[in-house]
Amino acid sequence: MAINFVVIFGLLGNVMSGLVYVSPANVFVRILRRRSTEEFESVPYVSKLLNAYFWVYYGLIKPNSVLVATVNIFGAVVEIVFLTIFLLFAPPRMKARTAMLVVALNVAFPAAAILLTQFLLHGDQRIDAAGLLCSVFSMIAYASPLSAMKTVVALKSVEYMPFLLSFILFLNGGIWTLYAILAKDLFVGIPNGTGFLFGTAQLILYAIYWKPSKPSKQVSDDLEDQQHIREALIPASKTIIVE
């Protein structure tokens, strides 16, 4: 029965993680339409691809962890597509910088780390080393929303922290944490438990600082008041000019 629950939560985790991977799709639709990366950065996608590589490796070498590998194979493909689009439309300096990051962090480093782990370590040592790499890079990825949370507190506005993405990250962290508890997988549990806590904190901030948009009638009244003020000022300015 426990194995069935592991599979169920693993499948749910695949769905949630898949949504997290494709969540920046609107950014790349915009890049394709405008044929420019504008002010967008490539670092988040380089980091997510690196993270996906290690989770694929971990899921393949650890027994009964294929569901960890499947979603990250999908994620790796998505990030490769995103980075390809970025490289096609980035300005020269950003293109060169992104290309160097891709070669260093998405080719050289993971290849060296996986080869060394594969040939120098064996059995549980290999699994533990791969799991440690996964945990470290996942913790870095999950900590990235801290800047958005800081902005929310500073501005007292949730404008720059989309609710849907925060909610998906909350669900994703929670589901994978339950999977980790059932599968007794510490390396999956620690980063996703942390992600669940960050997601919870984001939702709490959203509840505190969310403000409903003004109703259309209120906006109309505001515009009308501004018009009355403008009309009152125009005659006064004419009087000053006459004098």
pTM over 0.75: yes
In this structure, of 97-111, 132-146, 172-186, the range with the lowest mean pLDDT score is: 132-146
pLDDT tens digits for 140-198? 777 666 767 887 888 888 776 778 878 888 999 999 999 999 999 999 999 999 889 98
> Rounded mean pLDDT of 121-144?
88
Cβ atoms within 10 Å, residue 145:
19
Please tell me the predicted confidence (pLDDT) of residue 23. Answer: 86
| Burial readout 1-18 (b: 16 or more C-beta within 10 A, e: otherwise) | eeeeebbebbebbbebbb
pLDDT at residue 111 tops 70: yes
Kindly give the interhelix angle for 92-101 and 43-61, rounded to the nearest 10 degrees. 20
pLDDT digits over 75-87, tens only? Answer: 999 999 999 999 9
Q: Report d(CA 158, CA 151) in Å as an integer.
A: 8
pLDDT of residue 225: 52
174 versus 215: which is more confidently predicted? 174
